[in-house]
Amino acid sequence: MAKDGVRLRVGWFPAEGTPRGSVVLSPGRTEPIEKYFEVIQDFTSRGFVVLCHDWRGQGLSQRLVAKDPMKGEAQGWRPFLADLNVILAEFSDDLPKPWLAVGHSMGGGLTLLALAEGETRFAATVLSAPMAGVNLAGRGRGSMLGLARLLKLMGLGQAYAIGRMSPFADTFETQVLTHDRGRWQDFRDLIDAEPSLALFGPTWNWIAFALELSIRVEASPRIDQLATPLAILAAEDEKLVDNAAAEAVARRAPQGAFSVVGGAYHEILMETEPRRAQFFAVFDGIANDLSPVQPLA
């Protein structure tokens, strides 16, 4: 339960064998825990306990627009970080150290924001296509944020910003998330079987939140002083987030690293196996430095 009473859903998954540490896995916008079962297995098989969660307003956490629960709503960035703090505090005793933060898209952006706001419990951070900035298709960030704030003042903040964007209308040929048909179909089968897991398009309130997040991360001096490794992987064929903003954050961090996954769409962790392997090669390099694999007796 969040501090403001919003119900939060969390999944805790034990490591295979003796734990080497813990991964705190933060999915992107629209993504429930179930979408990450394969990824969770990738981490638990490496010896990591995994904590994964549904952000407020999506998955089976409490939705934020009672009249239309499918809307992708946000009420500023502070509730998201407060929720993360509550979750980490609640599960702290069940998460062996070191803690590695892994986030995708919105989850990656919020992980960056947590670091920018002073979070120090993570020994390292590895991010997939983080929302350090939003792809605005040539529109200015300031003008878009001004429009979103104006609509909020007019009482229209919960209106869809770019249409309903129903995932049920997508086809593999029209989507821009992954080149892996099987993984795309797995998620489509999941929401077809349980439609309450799906989420539609973002509201203007969500647009304001996303832009404010990028501004706070960009302005934070803590990124320049980050004492732990920060690795960011971007998708070469990215359509949703701003790769340049993510690269700028990685370049500022003293132990930052930035790489591009060739030919990948946005969802690197749901991509074809060779593209996914590039993420796990980076993760394994950092994880092995922090918590080396113990040789068999």
Do residues 192 and 230 touch, judged by C-beta distance below 8 A?
Answer: no
Confidence of residue 296 (pLDDT cuts 50, 70, 90): low
Residue 54 has pLDDT above 70, yes or no: yes
Query: What's the topology of domain 9-290?
Result: Rossmann fold (3.40.50)
In 3D, which of 19, 31, 37 has the Cα closest to residue 55? 31
**pLDDT recorded at residue 138:** 86
**What is the rounded distance in angstroms from the CA atom of residue 271 to the CA atom of residue 262?**
11
Residue 293 has pLDDT above 90, yes or no: no
H or E element at residue 218 = helix 204-219
For the chain, the structural domain boundaries read: 9-290
What is the pTM for the complete model shown?
0.96
Q: Is the four-CA dihedral 262, 265, 269, 271 of positive or negative sign?
A: negative
In 3D, which of 79, 98, 76, 97 has the Cα closest to residue 87? 79
SS3 53: strand
Q: Pull the structure tokens for residue 5.
A: 């009473």
**What is the rounded distance in angstroms from the CA atom of residue 23 to the CA atom of residue 2?**
21
Sheet holding 230-235, edge to edge: 9-13, 48-54, 21-26, 99-104, 124-128, 230-235, 256-261
Residue 40 burial by Cβ neighbours in a 10 Å radius (0-12, 13-18, 19+)? buried
Give the tens place of pLDDT for each residue, 209-219.
999 999 999 99
Pairing state of beta strands 256-261 and 230-235?
Answer: parallel
Residue 238 has pLDDT above 80, yes or no: yes
Give the tens place of pLDDT for each residue, 176-207.
999 999 999 999 999 999 999 999 999 999 99
**pLDDT recorded at residue 61:** 98
Do residues 51 and 26 touch, judged by C-beta distance below 8 A?
Answer: no
Residue type, 104: H
Give the tens place of pLDDT for each residue, 6-36.
999 999 999 999 999 999 999 999 999 999 9
Confidence of residue 295 (pLDDT cuts 50, 70, 90): low
Average pLDDT, the chain: 97
Give the tens place of pLDDT for each residue, 123-178.
999 999 999 999 998 899 999 999 999 999 999 999 999 889 999 999 999 999 99
Q: What percent of the chain has pLDDT over 90?
A: 96
Give DSSP secondary structure letters for 224-247: GG--S-EEEEEETT-SSB-HHHHH
Residue 297 burial by Cβ neighbours in a 10 Å radius (0-12, 13-18, 19+)? exposed
